[in-house]
Amino acid sequence: MRLDLSRFSRRRLAAVAVGVVAVAGIAVVPTLPAFAATACSVTYGASPWTESPGVGGFTANMTLTNTGDPLTAWSLKFTLPSGQSFTQGWSANWTATGTAVTATNMSWNGTLATGASTGFGFNGRWTGSFTAPTVFSINGVTCGGTPPATRGRRPRCRWSTRARARRRPGRARPRCCCCG
C-alpha cells in the first residue's frame, strides 16, 4: 500500500512535526537555580595580652552581620596575620590550617535574615606583634566586595505587579527589584 501525499499535505505534516518538536524542546529546558546576593560585614574585636616580650595570646570576639539576601548556612573564612595561630573557638564549627581559619555555622545560628547577625569567637596566640585580620569572606564572597561570577545565566528580572502598574507609556521603566 502506497501513501500518496499531495504537496499541501506534506507541508501540513511538516508544520505539525516542527510544532511537536518545538513544544517538546520547551518542556525539556532545565530551570536554572536562583542566585542569592551574598553580602556581609564583620566586626572583629580582640583583647590581646603579653606573656613575655614579643609573645602573648588573645581572645577575639566576632559579629557577622548579613547585609545581603537571607542565608540558611554560612562559612566565614579569613587569614590570621603572620605570627598568629588559632587555639580554640566557640559558637561556630572551627577549622584552622596554618593561618587560614574557617568558621561555619552551628545548627542554631545558620539562618540569618537580611540585617541579622550572630556572634562567635576564638582564642589564639601571637608572636612578634599583634595585629587583627582585615579581610573576611562569607560563602566565597568578600565582605564588602562583589559576588563571584555565577555559572549559568544571570537571574532574570521579574517585574512586580506594582512596578508594571506604575509603568506608563513614554516614561522610564521602573527599576527591577533584583538587578537594578
Sketch the domain layout of the chain as residue ranges: 46-142
Question: Are the beta carbons of 132 and 83 closer than 8 angstroms?
Answer: no
CATH fold for the domain made of 46-142 = Immunoglobulin-like (2.60.40)
pLDDT above 90 (res 146): no
Average pLDDT over residues 115-119: 96
Q: Decide the pairing of beta strands 141-142 and 100-104.
A: unpaired
Judge whether 86 and 94 are in contact, CB under 8 Å: yes
pLDDT tens profile 19-55: 665 555 555 445 444 456 889 999 999 999 999 999 9
Give which of 139, 147, 142, 179 is closest to 163, Cα–Cα: 179
Task: Work out the average pLDDT over 49-76.
Answer: 96
pTM, two decimals, is 0.62
Nearest Cα neighbor of 157 from 29, 30, 34, 27 is 34
**Rounded to whole angstroms, how far apart are CA atoms 180 and 176?**
5
Q: pLDDT class for 59, splitting at 50, 70, 90?
A: very high
Q: Are 125 and 85 in contact (CB under 8 A)?
A: yes
Does position 168 have pLDDT exceeding 90, yes or no? Answer: no
- Position 177 pLDDT exceeds 50: no
- Which pLDDT belongs to residue 64? 96
